[in-house]
Amino acid sequence: MIPQDDKNQGPRKPRGRPRDWHDKTAQNTIKSLDRAMEVFEFLSDTQGKALTTLASDLNQSPSTVYRILVTLETRGLVEFDQVDQVWHIGARAFVIGSRFLRRTSLVERARPHLRALMEKTGETANLGIRQHGRVLFVSQVETDATIRAFFPPGTLSRLHASGIGKALLAEMDPDRIEKLISDEPLERFTEFTLTDRDALMEDLRITRERGYSLDGEERNLGMRCIAAPVFDIHGEALAGISVSGPTSRVGVEQIPELSEAVLVAARNLSASIGGKS
């Protein structure tokens, strides 16, 4: 028998999550799964680790870490190198991760623009989006030059020490910027990293005015990056496109020419996805 109230309301809409989805207390988490993900994520950052090293670094017992690794191995998420006796991320992890990129046509649309940008500048072209307060690199077209920048898809970088990160920050309102840079200290990577809040805000002001950002050895010594934002249909910056290369090739005198190429690529990509620049 269907209650009268349910008859009046009609069929219930399927739920994607329960009413208490926002409750992240222990009763709504699976500790063993959380521990497994900790091992998996740590291994993804530091590949080629022996069992004892992983257990020591994670402050967990070798037997616990081993059971996790074997479970992940059955799913193809990790692999064991019999020769070197170390663990690596497995091919299945790449397959699953690649499905994230299919949520949007941005990556597919960006490929020809990245290729054209690389061919015009002779430097590696990158595409990144903001993900949980970081820049997530989702696509790249590498230069054939011997010395080159390398940010494989899946790489995460701090916003304040990244060309794409600063290009995205510069398009945000001041309150949003303040929140993002206040959530955690501005980490110093090199002597050129902008760790002073006022200095960073001034850099973002200049970036907003000229339309592109500069990462002058702020993340890696000897490397320079020029980036510009990509806009969606609402005129909001949803991604950044950049060229990166060694300072020996991407010198101060090359910035005007390279920045113009980056700006053109960003405008073209924005237009291809129906964005407003």
Q: Report pLDDT for 30.
A: 85
Pairwise CA distance, residues 36 & 271, whole Å:
42
Q: Convert the pLDDT of each residue in 93-104 to its tens digit.
A: 888 877 766 555
Domains (range + CATH), the chain: 23-95 (1.10.10.10), 104-272 (3.30.450.40)
Pairwise CA distance, residues 213 & 79, whole Å:
40
Q: Convert the pLDDT of each residue in 14-70 to its tens digit.
A: 555 555 545 555 556 688 899 999 999 899 888 789 999 999 999 999 999 999 999
Q: 145: pLDDT confidence band, cut at 50, 70 and 90?
A: confident
The predicted model gives 233-255 an average pLDDT of 93
Using a cut of 0.85, tell me whether the model's pTM lies above it: no
The predicted model gives 224-238 an average pLDDT of 94
H-helix or E-strand containing 196? none
> Do residues 230 and 266 touch, judged by C-beta distance below 8 A?
yes
The predicted model gives 180-205 an average pLDDT of 92
Pairwise CA distance, residues 226 & 223, whole Å:
10
Pairwise CA distance, residues 243 & 115, whole Å:
11
Output 190 or 149, whichever has higher pLDDT.
190
Q: Report pLDDT for 133.
A: 84
Produce one character per residue of 22-48: b if its CB has 16 or more CB atoms within 10 Å, e if not: eeeeeeeeeeeeebbeebbeebeeeee
